[in-house]
Structure 1
Amino acid sequence: MSRVDFSQTTNGIIQVLEREEPLLSSLSEDVVASRFNKQNRTIKQILGHLIDSASNNTHRIIHLQNQPSPLIFPDYANLGNNDRWIAIQNYQTENWNNLIQLWKYSNLHVIHVINHVDQSKLNNEWLNTFGDKISLRSMIEDYLPHLHLHINEIHELCQIHV
């Protein structure tokens, strides 16, 4: 079996972290707490969602390597669950600099986990809420586009009144 190279994903995550950390750090509390996207999330809540994404994907990657496939794993992203996660953790009142650092280091850990994935498990699947089967490989490959989607939302919110 030839080794699957995830460097495009991991290098892409690093590029996002290096580019976005200074921008995020430059934003005022007023900006991050008061501008809302179409899902009614503030910049703080969007970054919190990305922290949840890093955490949940780390757990999925681990479980998909040591549990029978297909894996039934809680699906935080559908049916409004991700909004409940955001509310329960109250990202809106979290210290902004702490959120930035948690986001950064959670993603550095995702990179570490991806770099050490058992290649023989890449076809293992988990079932989401809708019964869709998602392979470990496709989950890893879809991580960066999801990160870009939400970073672009933050950019759009920064441009509204800037």
Structure 2
Amino acid sequence: MMNNDFISVTNGILEIINKWEIPLQNLSDDIITKRLNKQNRTIKQILGHLVDSASNNHQRMVRLQYNSDLAFPDYRQDNDRWIAIQNYQDSNWNNLIQLWKYFNLHIIHVIQNTDKDMLQNCWHDFEGTRVTLEQMIYGYLDHLNLHINEIKDLINK
């Protein structure tokens, strides 16, 4: 059964995908590999980080639907390590865009099918902060917007 409680989140994710897929594909290699944000990341690395975010949040969103108190690793303190290990800087740009797009389309599907009775199940981040499934879902769009805005700033630099 579809959960429409998060329609603003799922519509927001879809809007970002639809707005950014083609413009991302049209960026030059210089723009995606040489311009750096304040964390010293390129556009390629930021998009790779968004794939990592989708991957980790997907796992949490699914696992929180059958665990009321989830013990699952946080990777926030290791973001740069994840980016380096996967070498997003040298990855195929079009493949990376498609991975980002389709992972987020699947996240939309997961959110739409989230069990309402599980929304207060929680995960604890590496600092010990309690995060409910509901908070995680809303926070996902905020995080996506944060990094899309960084990409936008780098394009306009």
Alignment TM class, shorter chain as reference: over 0.9
Question: Residue in 1 aligned with 2:140?
Answer: 143
Helix, strand or coil at the partner of 1:66: coil
Question: Residue in 1 aligned with 2:95?
Answer: 98
Structure 1 residue 119: Cα displacement: 1.0
Aligned-pair RMSD on alpha carbons?
1.0
Question: Residue in 2 aligned with 1:47?
Answer: 47
**Map 1:62-141 → 2, pairs under 5 A:** 62-67=62-67, 69-77=68-76, 79=77, 81-141=78-138
Task: Write the distance in 1 (CA, Å) between the matches of 2:24 and 2:4.
Answer: 33
Structure 1 residue 4: Cα displacement: 6.3
CA separation of 1:109 and 1:4: change in aligned 2, threshold 3 A: closer
Q: Per-residue CA shift, 1:4-53, capped at 9, x if unaligned?
A: 61000000000000001111011011110111100000000000000011
Question: Residue in 2 aligned with 1:5?
Answer: 5
Question: Residue in 2 aligned with 1:156?
Answer: 153
| Contact 2:123–2:132, Cα closer than 8 Å, also in 1 | yes
| Contact 2:4–2:112, Cα closer than 8 Å, also in 1 | no
What is the aligned residue count? 155
| Unpaired runs of at least 5, structure 1 | none
Task: Write the distance in 1 (CA, Å) between the matches of 2:82 and 2:37.
Answer: 17
The TM-score normalised by the length of structure 1 is 0.93
Query: How high is the sequence identity, in percent, across the aligned residues?
Result: 57
Helix, strand or coil at the partner of 1:65: coil
CA separation of 1:84 and 1:93: change in aligned 2, threshold 3 A: same
| Contact 1:4–1:119, Cα closer than 8 Å, also in 2 | no
Q: Per-residue CA shift, 1:41-81, capped at 9, x if unaligned?
A: 000000000001111110000111112x321110011x2x1
The alignment status of 1:59 with 2:56, answered yes or no, reads no
Question: Residue in 2 aligned with 1:35?
Answer: 35
Letter in 1 for 2:45: Q
Task: Write the distance in 2 (CA, Å) between the matches of 1:132 and 1:50.
Answer: 22
